[in-house]
Structure 1
Amino acid sequence: MVEQLNQAKQQNLPIVFLDEAVFTFNTFKSKSWSSAYSSIKVNDFAIKVKTQALIAAINLDGGMFDYVIHPKSIRTEEFQAFVRKLSQRHDGKPFAIFMDNLSVHKTNISKDLFTELNILAIFNIPYSPQFNGIESYFSLLKCEYKKLILEKVMKGDPVDAVSLIKTSIAKIDDKKTMKCVKYGFDCIEGQLKSIQN
């Protein structure tokens, strides 16, 4: 990982931080404030939320770079389509993708695609989400999503997960998103310093 980050720095490659997140029925707040001497009542049997998967990329230059929402989960085909979209957004020029070790990221088909599109793949160290800034971003995003879904449920309104995900993304400003990326870089730098000492 460190070697590839140094390579990206030496080649002055833009780096996007990519990951997937899943939004399900269970992705909502179980606690909230209510008026004194009253409780929030939720009929959770009436809630119908279709599972949605989000694949997103953020960067240090502008925050949210791009995202796509898919029903259920991200398979190799969806991942590759998203990577091609990122390449188009970079006008076909070389760039780097920092990502975790999800199996769809490491298939031979995906590796061939990285080579074809001149993408430097940077794989995070396993069990180190703090290094990938998008993990912090997803924490903010799910917090917004949970608030919105609770509001809908309390009012008895139907829940459209796709719409709520998009609204949640819009609520997180790019400055916060860039701070998440910077936090990931700071964690990497801090870890490297502790190893060197």
Structure 2
Amino acid sequence: MARDYRVVEDSTRKAILTKFKEGGNGWLKFAKDLGVKRTTAYQIVKKGSDKKGKWGGRREKTVKVTAEITARLLAAVEQNASITLKALREKVNGAVSTSTIDRVLDGSLLTLKKITPVPVDKNSPQNIAKRAVYCRDYQGEVRKKIHIDESNYNLWTRRNYGRSRLGERAKKKERTAKGRNLNILLAISDDGDVVHHEVHPGSVTDKFRDFMGSVCNALDGERAVIYMDNAPIHKKLSNFELVPENVEVRRFDSPYSPELNPCEGCFSVLKAFIKGKLSERDPMQDRERAEEQQQYLYQYREDLLRGLCVEAMEQLTRDKIRGMYRLADTWVNKGSQEIPF
């Protein structure tokens, strides 16, 4: 059974020292009356301190990862998110090992993840001001909101992560020819509907005018505001000749603000579905299947990707689209308050 150690309080220690300084051996009886053992009383008198000593724990002389080193490591990561453990070790003059640095970062809730490029001018004072003007105008709009954007896919649209044995690369055989890109033109509304969408191979520059006309026809005379980014295709005035008076077209005046566009989240849903389906196919059998269907190889691949795009559109439910609008609204609120993105 473990021994029960009694802690002698500082006030008791002080009383024993005071009695000892009075002279004589009366202090031993005094200590006994206070419930302090004889050996403990001698230790208190020998040390001459009325404060109990520190027992256990780390000794400062043996601590390598000091608060200063931790602060320097975190500051270096804050300055350069892609800095290596070896470079971090050089920042602290080799005071700790790379494995220790890894544990320090992990303990500070810093994990390794993909780098997200952020344009230098994204949060410049000028762009923050432009973003605030756009967001406040957006918040004051009461008409139906329509967002339009484009995205492209090809047979090399795939997952970036896979599984393999330790020490081996995760590989998947692919044909060198990826085929033509397929472009999805998408128009969604803030009530959760896909207003209109089209899938086209290659460039959509010559298709955008008719697409805008189809979007406006789908609105059936309802008053609405169409929002889109500053892509070159959105600046060509002839592309809006079919837009009626009940529809107003506005372009994002705020550069580097994809967070304000709910279409971006919708394209992520579509791309995740397409990546999953493409990961299931065996690209080495494309030629054989094309011959079975009496198609050219490029034609077979184009039809395959087009079919996946059509299937993917079924993933855009009203709940998901509304969720994308709610997420965009949180960024709109931040932008209106001139909070950097």
Q: Following the alignment from structure 1 to structure 2, what is the Cα–Cα distance between the partners of residues 46 and 108?
A: 39
Identity of aligned residues (%): 22
2:207 match: secondary structure: helix
Aligned counterparts of 2:195 and 2:217: Cα–Cα separation in 1: 12
Taking structure 2 as the reference length, the TM-score comes to 0.49
Which amino acid in the other structure matches residue 23 of structure 1?
Y
1:169 pairs with 2:319: no
Larger Rg: 2
Q: For 2:314 and 2:163, locate their aligned partners in 1 and report how far apart those are by CA, in whole Å.
A: 24
Partner of 1:89: 218
**Residue matched to 1:31:** 161
Identify unmatched segments of 5+ residues in structure 2.
1-133, 290-300
Aligned equivalents of 1:96 and 1:117: distance in 2?
11
Q: Does structure 1 retain, via aligned residues, the 8 Å contact 2:189–2:195?
A: yes
**Counterpart AA for 2:152:** V
Residue in structure 2 matched with residue 16 of structure 1 by the alignment: 146
Matching residue of 1:73: 203
Return the letter of the residue paired with 2:172: V
Alignment of 1:102 with 2:231, yes or no, is yes
- Report the CA distance shift for 1:66/1:74 in structure 2 as closer, same or farther (over 3 A): same
Q: 1:4 to 1:74 in 2, by over 3 A?
A: farther
Matched, 1:58 2:191: no
| Larger RCO of the pair (alpha carbons < 8 Å, separation 6+) | 1
Per-residue deviation, 1:64: 2.4
For residue 5 of structure 1, the aligned residue among 138, 145, 150 is: 138
Query: Partners in 2 of 1:147 and 1:49 — Cα distance?
Result: 19
Name the CA distance, whole Å, in 2 between partners of 1:5 and 1:165: 31
| Residue deviations 1:63-88 (CA, integer Å, cap 9, x gap) | 3222100111211x311111111111
SS state of the match for residue 306, structure 2?
helix
Counterpart Cα distance in 1 of 2:326 and 2:150: 19
CA distance in 1, matches of 2:324, 2:259: 10
Counterpart-to-counterpart distance in 1, 2:240 and 2:139: 20
Mind listing any 5+ residue stretches in structure 1 that lack a counterpart?
none
Q: Distance in 1 between matches of 2:334 and 2:259?
A: 11
**Candidates 267, 273, 282, aligned match of 1:153:** 282
What CA distance in whole angstroms lies between the structure 1 residues aligned with 2:137 and 2:282?
Answer: 45
TM-score, with length taken from structure 1 = 0.81
Instruction: Determine if the alignment matches structure 1 residue 188 to structure 2 residue 332.
Output: yes
1:79 and 1:117 map into 2 onto residues whose CA distance is 19
Letter in 1 for 2:313: I
Letter in 1 for 2:225: A
Runs in 1 of length 4+ with deviation above 6 angstroms?
Answer: none
**Aligned-partner Cα distance in 2 for 1:171–1:108:** 33
2:136 touches 2:336 (CA, 8 Å); kept in 1? Answer: no
CA deviation profile, 1:113-137 (whole Å, cap 9, x unmatched): 44x4432112122210000011111
Point out the structure with the larger strand share: 1
Change (3 A) 1:169 1:183: same
Between the two proteins, the alignment pairs up a number of residues equal to: 190
Identify the residue that residue 62 of structure 2 maps to in structure 1: none
| Distance across 2 between alignment mates of 1:100 and 1:88 | 21
